């Protein structure tokens, strides 16, 4: 653990630095990341997704408390693509995680209110590293199951859990086919009292749906049910996560996935830098205007733009 990150206040300050868009802060942030690198990587990163209202925050409160009682240090990152527009779910998250947020061994960082890229806080990966350097051994990343954010969160997790609602009929409508291909487990939440029969039906549906897909030979994603509100079924889900961790660590998949995630991250950084560089060229706005007025075709405009980019680079 990095000593200077040992309390939550210093961790928060470091995260604020990482999230800053000021150039001078960004340089400091890069230095900080380099410095903590040797103390990172030693955690289990768990992505948790599902439609708004499925119970993600409540589930995290329940699983988080379970883990705290098992002497883990738990960091929670909420990644919410809607936050820049709607003001985010910070209030919701904090009230749903009341018990957890008062624990010394828990750290809850709500989603940033600005500067998100592709729906997900673009600094989430760095924040994960900071939390690890601060000694958190379980990282829970909550994301709303809309748009690109699941893919992004999947690309920074070791284990990807999808929460579902009980109920017959339309189970598969809320879930895109691609998502079933990347889940490591599905949990049907709110499976208590009168909901139990419907939860069983939903479990069966997802089991069938997953059965059709080809999964990796060493792991068939299990479908479980739970009640985050009543803390039922949480231990079974945790045991499955641990089983997955053991299997994938033994066969090398765990490490492979992290390396693949790094490759994805690298590509994202390059894409982002490329776009920023291009859009900061003076030609960008001019050519956009020209395309809008119809005096140049999009194809020709893009060629001119890249010419401008590369000739600028050549001159450097
Ligand atoms: N009955 C029941 N309600 C739940 C359960 N988990 C969450 N809820 C409720 O569902 C609503 C949305 O929960 P929340 O955790 O904010 O969902 P999120 O949007 O996915 O983070 C809240 O009113 C919760 O109290 C559960 O296991 N059973
Ligand atoms: Mg939530």
Q: Are residues 224 and 109 in the same domain?
A: yes
Q: Are residues 301 and 210 in the same domain?
A: no
Domain boundary among 205, 230, 251: 251
Q: Are residues 224 and 141 in the same domain?
A: yes
Provide the number of structural domains found in the chain: 2
What does the buried/exposed string (b/e) look like for 54-86 if buried means 16 or more CB atoms within 10 Å of the residue's CB? bbbbbbbbbbbbbbbeeebbbbbbbbbbbbeee
Ligand with minimal distance to 88 CA: 2
Instruction: Tell me, in angstroms, the distance from the centre of ligand 1 to residue 58's CA.
Output: 6
H-run or E-run covering 198: helix 196-212
Residue 1 lies in a domain: no
Between 168 and 296, the higher pLDDT residue:
296
Please give all residues whose CB falls under 5 A of ion ligand 2, grouped by chain where several chains appear: 56-57, 89
- Residues near 308 by beta carbon (within 8 Å), at least 6 away in sequence: 281, 283
Q: Are residues 237 and 174 in the same domain?
A: yes
Q: Are residues 235 and 298 in the same domain?
A: no
pLDDT of residue 313: 61
**Does 98 score more than 50 pLDDT?**
yes
Residues with CB under 6 Å of ligand 1 are 50, 52-58, 92, 96, 189-190, 192, 227-229
Q: What does the pLDDT average to over 222-250?
A: 97
Q: What does the pLDDT average to over 116-138?
A: 80
Between 65 and 114, the higher pLDDT residue:
65
Q: Are residues 209 and 303 in the same domain?
A: no
Please give the number of the atom of ligand 1 that sits closest to the Cα of 230: 27
pLDDT of residue 231: 97
pLDDT category, 112, cuts 50, 70, 90?
low
Instruction: Tell me, in angstroms, the distance from the centre of ligand 1 to residue 111's CA.
Output: 19
* Contact predicate 225/199, CB 8 Å: yes
* Contact predicate 181/187, CB 8 Å: no
What is the end-to-end Cα distance of the chain in Å, rounded?
41
pLDDT of residue 36: 95
Stated pTM of the model: 0.89
Residue 3 lies in a domain: no
């Amino acid at each position: 653990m990095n000593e200077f990150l040992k309390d939550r206040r210093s961790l928060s300050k470091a995260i604020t630095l990482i999230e800053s868009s000021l150039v001078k802060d960004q340089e400091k942030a890069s230095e900080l990341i380099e410095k903590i690198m040797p103390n990172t990587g030693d955690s289990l990163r768990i992505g948790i997704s599902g439609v708004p209202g499925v119970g993600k925050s409540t589930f995290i409160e329940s699983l988080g408390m379970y883990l705290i009682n098992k002497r883990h240090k738990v960091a929670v990152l909420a990644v919410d693509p809607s936050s820049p527009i709607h003001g985010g779910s910070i209030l919701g998250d904090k009230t749903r995680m009341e018990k957890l947020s008062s624990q010394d061994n828990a750290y809850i960082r709500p989603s940033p209110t600005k500067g998100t890229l592709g729906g997900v806080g673009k600094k989430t990966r760095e924040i994960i590293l900071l939390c690890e350097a601060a000694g958190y051994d379980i990282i829970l990343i909550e994301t709303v199951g809309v748009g690109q954010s699941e893919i992004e969160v999947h690309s920074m997790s070791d284990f990807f859990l999808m929460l579902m609602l009980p109920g017959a009929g339309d189970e598969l409508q809320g879930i895109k086919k691609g998502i079933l291909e990347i889940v490591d487990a599905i949990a049907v939440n709110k499976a208590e009292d009168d909901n139990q029969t419907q939860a069983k039906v939903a479990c069966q549906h997802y089991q069938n749906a997953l059965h059709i897909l080809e999964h990796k030979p060493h792991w068939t994603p299990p479908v479980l049910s739970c009640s985050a509100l009543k803390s039922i079924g949480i231990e079974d889900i945790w045991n499955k996560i641990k089983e997955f961790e053991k299997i994938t660590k033994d066969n090398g998949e765990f490490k492979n996935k992290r390396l693949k995630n790094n490759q994805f991250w690298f590509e994202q950084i390059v894409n982002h830098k490329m776009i920023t560089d291009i859009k900061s060229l003076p030609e960008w706005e001019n050519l956009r205007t020209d395309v809008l007025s119809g005096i140049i075709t999009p194809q020709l405009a893009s060629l001119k733009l890249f010419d401008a980019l590369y000739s600028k680079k050549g001159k450097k």
